[in-house]
Amino acid sequence: NELKLHRYDIAVITQKWWRSAMVAKFANIPQRIGFDDAPAKMFYTHTVPYPKDEHEIIRLLELVRPLGIEPEIIAPRIYPEQSHYGAADDFLNSLISNKIVGIAPGSAWKTKRYTKYPQLIRTLKDMNYISICIGNEADNYLCDNIINDADVGSYASKYTSNSILKTSALLSRIPVLVANDSGAGHIASAVGTPVITIYGPTVPEQGFYPWGKKNRIVQISLDCQPCDAHGPNKCPLSHHKCMNDIEINRIVDNIIKIMDDIQ
């Protein structure tokens, strides 16, 4: 009823859920565009093929074709304010080194979390890097546990915030981020920071990897991948090899290569 009041002409429905399609239909929006493999496509007036082998950005842009628009690829961007940059700079100036690596260990899906972050932080400490554990405020406990397990003293810190703009400002100031298949990698890419994404229960072929030419992917190949569209909270086979068997040196090698490219 609220949407009806706006008298919208067009609804571009990116999600395939029944709810999204029904809301557009019952809001009397005359032109409703969605993907042709959506269960709720009966509520659409126009459909477009869902290109499964493409990145999600390209898939979504296909939805403008019924409007007579040729899709133009534009990388997602986030624009923090000066106050957000100021807070990030104050935090970074308090550290004992300018050799910094961001670590984003969180994920809403537990099996997506890399299991060797403490060992990675210890390895980086031996290389005189400071690791910053980055996440939202719900990741405080996760960062604390990882840093405590790493036992590296002042060579690790944390920067957690529920503000995407504050987090993105910090990410824009560091040379590289190591992350799971989670939102942090996409935020980093949107401010131009290279991301090393660690994949486990999900795979980049699903089309949701961070968009950027400098980004890198670390994974191993298993017959059981992907085991879920998102990543379950427990490994269905109870071994969690997709994360447990990824060697730290593969991540470190990619960090070094990105650092060398920057220099």
> pLDDT tens for residues 95-126?
977 799 999 999 999 999 999 999 999 999 99
Is 90 exceeded by the pLDDT of residue 39?
yes
The pLDDT-based confidence of 69 (bands split at 50, 70, 90) is: very high
The pLDDT assigned to 46 comes to 97
Q: Name which residue leads in pLDDT, 229 or 179.
A: 179
The pLDDT assigned to 74 comes to 84
Tell me the whole-structure pTM to 2 decimals. Answer: 0.90
Is 80 exceeded by the pLDDT of residue 263?
no
Burial of 248 (0-12, 13-18, 19+ CB in 10 A): middle
Question: Is residue 140 classed as helix, strand or coil in its secondary structure?
Answer: helix
Nearest to 193 by CA among 73, 114, 105, 78: 78
The pLDDT assigned to 25 comes to 96
> How many Å is the Cα radius of gyration of the chain?
21
The pLDDT assigned to 247 comes to 96
| CA–CA distance, 131 with 103 (Å, rounded to integer) | 6
Rounded mean pLDDT, 24-36: 97
Return the percentage of the chain with pLDDT > 70, whole number.
100
The pLDDT-based confidence of 215 (bands split at 50, 70, 90) is: very high
The pLDDT assigned to 97 comes to 77
For 185, list phi and psi in degrees, rounded to 5: -65, -35
The pLDDT assigned to 208 comes to 93
Rounded mean pLDDT, 31-50: 96
The per-residue pLDDT of the chain, averaged, comes to: 94
Is 70 exceeded by the pLDDT of residue 157?
yes
